Amino acid sequence: ALASEVVALLSEEPPRDYGDDLPAALRRARRGDDGYAARWRTEVRRLRGALSQAAAGRGGDPGGEERGVGLVV
């Protein structure tokens, strides 16, 4: 779920070169191959595993990063 990705992004400060724009940083973490992106993916998996069945079906619409980040923040 998108919320898991955003919470994982906020759980550890991203590298400076990811920038200050949360949706852009989220997109970069998704496609990244650095250590931060690897840790981010691990945290996303952990958070998704912790979600209930009802919450797991929400979010995930393409291009919804801005909406999702706003919802979580």
- pLDDT at 46 (0 to 100): 92
Model confidence pTM above 0.75: no
Residues 67/1, Cβ–Cβ less than 8 Å: no
**The amino acid at 3:** A
- pLDDT at 54 (0 to 100): 44
- Which of the 8 DSSP states describes residue 59? -
- Which of the 8 DSSP states describes residue 41? H
Residues of the chain below pLDDT 50: 53-54, 56
- pLDDT at 50 (0 to 100): 84
- pLDDT at 65 (0 to 100): 66
